[in-house]
Chains A and B, each alone.
Chain A
Amino acid sequence: MSKSNYSVIGKRVGNVDGVEKVTGGAKYTVDMVLPNMLHGKILRSPHPHARILNIDTRRAEQLPGVKIVLTAKDTLGRKNGIWRNFRDLCDEEILCREKVRYVGDAVAALAATDLETAEKALDLIDVEYELLPAAFDPLDALHDGMPHIHEDFERNMNVYRQIEWGDVEEAFSQCDHIREDTFYCSSQAHGCLEPHCALASFSHDGKLTVWTSTQSAYYTQLLLSDMTGLREGDIKVIKPHVGGGFGSKLSLDSAQYCAALLSMKLTRPVKIVLTRAEEFGATKRRTAIHYKVKLGAMKDGTLVARKVQAITEGGAYTAMGGTALYLTGFFSSFPYKFDHYQYDGFRVYTNNETASACRGFGAPQANFVSESQIDMMAEDLGIDPIELRIKNAITPNHEIPGQATIRSCELRQCLEAIDKWIKERGPLPPNHGIGVSAYGFMSGGIFNWIDTPYAFSSALVKINVDGKVDLFIGANEIGQGSNTTLSMICAEELGVRLEDITLHTGDTSVCPVDLGAWGSRQTLMSGNAVKMAALEAKKQLLEVAFHTLKPNVVYDLDIKDRRVHLAERPRRGISYFDVVKDAIRGKEGQAIIGRGHYTPHGKGMISPAYSFGVQAVEVKVDRQTGKVELKKIVTAHECGQVINPIGLEGQVEGASVMAAGWALTEELKSRNGKILNGDFRDYKMLLAEDVPEMILIEVDSYEPEGPYGAKEAGEGLTVPGAGAIANAVYNAVGVRITQMPLSAEKILQALEEKKRTQKEVDPFEAVA
């Protein structure tokens, strides 16, 4: 079907949650209050590694207003983790029993009548610790004789993953040119504006209701069931509006678990909201990674083989770090065709805050490394970096042995579009440089880490007598616009208007299961489920319409803009509303119900589809200070059929800025396990003043696996930024920064170093 035939999708519609969000009416978990509600607080370890000898809660319990203080002895003693069928990787008790493993590990939780009393009571809990030696650097932590952070993991080796195809050793021996480089990618805070928070209410009939800021209400329900021993069906998780996730609100967090436990003991509602300091220091963060990369090429620019070794700084627990470890390995080959590829990834425990999922999930790190090295290789070979990329770019229907089948891919067109833009930009002013980076990203993960027998996404459509459509989805809107996108898909498929759809979402007791918002999965996976549910409902309407319209058997019926008509002869038709009424009468008064589901099958190990793109960033480097100023960010990308254009652009822009912040100013610094910049004053996220002009070039593509041909958009744009900026800095002033972040100090130092070592005339200086 050609694009112009769509009546809802592809249109610039306002977000369906818009009015609530701009009037202050949208309720987030932090805004929720229940009658008789208590306030909870969590006592956290001040030490990076220590044995808990004794916890004396008596003084805290005696403080008027304090209702209860809980420690590990009040729990079932279970350990939590997302890979539920790998029990040894479920390693986080949340309330620590024997040891604390990072500054911020939880040791006690309490509830009081007001927040001030709860805060005061924290100081009255006496914990006796035996301090243990700690390990902060993953390279140190592996050494013999370093402290064991988890008893079962010798020398702190947490997870090892390998990926390979072809034969790299053999291939390198055939290459004309080989580069070996090392890189470091720094960590990043998620920086959600709404902190982690939960309001739990356990009733006398044994049912637990939890309102919480989560990326997956279903995961929260399942993991709470594991940890509390309640049946899944006795736990209702309600997800109100969520103030951002970015990967941080996917595992079970301390606010959710402790609020639930406290409420279960007291049979009263308990609310816990993490402070900003807890947000920075006691949740999760992006994985910092050390890389060694060997790249082999032929003189003509053909990339032959790449060998990647990554050592990731895991922090105190596994969380979803194993997946980041795997994905950084997979995406280190992207977006090129390598006949020979080998990856070894080592995840190491340290006594720092846990590194886990963070928007891009290992791919941004892989891309910074890979795309920096591609430019270095292009320079070695004397080939234009875009030409080199075009020569090796993944093309449609590309098979990555044992890993992935890539169907749609318009990377070449994206590269050509960026090439054209750079040429049109013409000569740059002094100290300006443009860097490019090509990337690909997944449309949802094929990881059943949670080990569920349910479909990955499901949806239910109910058509009522007035023609209004109730759409029930388990998908999680967290700001990315999925409520709008999925409503649009439902309206398009049913042939009604967007305002005909009433969305029901964010309540596990009402909505069918969906794995939630991670890995850019909802447009494709939840979208397919919604489309299928709408189609099933629509077919029931068409059966009735056939009786009325009695078309020749060769004609099909369709519904468009509330009119049921002959697909081939649109003028012959009847009102959707009349058909709905007839259909309901024909079903003995039952509403029309359609069910839909989606689980990827036969799509490899990673994802059912991949999106591709290229970003060019123009920077200006101040030679006196080393400061990088962003001048322009130009993105050419392809994401299949665009469903929700405003949402798509917003995702692309927001992700690009998050990536630029990671590259330049955001580094979560710590010393001896203590976060040094755990507030928004010292942790520098980019401001409106820092953001440059953004240009978006949409390249057409069609993904057969996605709804209407749609695939991922948004998260993928956290991927290319750092590499493009590093390349731009090099092209501006001739210094190659391989250790993130690209801070002013580091660039200045590199400029000075370059001046010292280079006696001959610096060609970049000469141009400037």
Chain B
Amino acid sequence: MPFAVSMSGICKRFGAVTANDHIDLNVLSGDIHGIVGENGAGKSTLVSILYGFYTADSGTTEIAGIPYTHNTPADSIAAGIGMVHQHFMLVPNFTVLENIILGHEGYKQLSKSMDQARHMLSSLSQQYGLDVDLDAQVGDLPVSLQQRVEILKALYRDARILILDEPTGVLTPQETNQLFDILRALKKQGVTILLITHKLREIMAATDHVSVMRGGRMIAHLQTADTTPDQLAELMVGRPVQVQKQWHKANKGAAIVSVKDVQLTRSKTQNLLSDITFTVHAGEILGIAGVAGNGQSELLNILAGIIAPTAGHISYHDHHIDAGNPADPQKIKSLGVAHVPEDRHASGIVLPFTAAENAALGYEKNVSGGYGHAFLSPQSLRARCAKLMQRFDVRPADPNLKSSLFSGGNQQKLVLAREMSATPSVLLIGQPTRGVDIGAIEFIHQQLIDMRDKGCAIILVSVELDEIMSLSDRIMVMNNGRIMGLVEQATANVKDIGLLMAGVQ
């Protein structure tokens, strides 16, 4: 039987970086084939080449045994390759039907093509068990359904090979299982699926074969049934890693953060946050779990003073802040609260700045000016940065290097170093390991546990449930801007938290 996809000797360089170094990949027809690897391992580059976003520098691709040179995504769609991107490519104010036919309208007269598409799609969704209301506005649909729209869109274009790039990042555990059910149904109909992910649990649950990538190279091809998560993790990182829980019990201190009845309204009818009340103690990590976009980001920004709540009170130690008298980030900082923001690239650092400049962002006043208060001396910026880089093992340890040239993990370590160097009594941290390699993840987690042990109160927001569960003393689950429940570490389990994330109490 010919392979559905057969790539051999694929090379792709971006400037000095070799993203793909002689990659061979064979995917059996009708297989669910996983590709795992850390951030920057070259997975996305490889599938982008397959989908026609990039052209390989060298190497050949065969689709179903036929040599294939494509240049654009349009060529790939014509060859039966469909892709569901990590960030959906949908027009929010179009209906499902309009989104699906976009680019494939067929007739000049829109109503005619809509009728035809409606007919085809109803048979498609029956065939694969993909139920979506074709007339719903995409913007109103939950993310899991938007993802189905993306899959339908690919199938409508006759995709026989479906690429899914990190499809579960936005799903609850239950929704993830539903997605895998859909994938199995597709497989039964002979669709070949390429699943790109960094989550080993999902590889084990969903795939037949798995390919492991590391540093731009293909490391191993394995039958999923013959492997274990530990083996995959070791292959991904190149050395044994501990996947077990780092959490251990610690001594809780006094309550130092208290949030009461916090609300945030966008319009008269829409509440982004309602009735948020909780406390956090010294020496405790409170994990906030939830599918992305359920109010966690807004809550974190309110706690950091970046946005003002519509109503409610927050207190740090003995300092009270209420909605009528909101605090700004500088004020919050002066209360001993540090903040590692969720979107590192937009907020946490200024990408074109040097590491030395970023190491002072928000703490410019603490850097000696050289000549006086208004000045900022490059020497002291560099010295400060060099110290932080050494303490947090940031590589390369070059304060003059542009921040955009550091890997995600090292950028995050720099942000963490900056915030922790202020020895805060409260740390707000969002997505601490997004886009961060496994080595750095271990390091960052260890830092958080150490800080907690020293008596810092940590509020941790993450969409990675594994991360929340392995670090938090208590887990607060949010859905649609409300607190769905608080779970103690001892009694936490994925199923219950997953239901709370989905809004089922």
Q: Bound pair: A and B?
A: no
Binding site for B on A (CB under 8 A): none
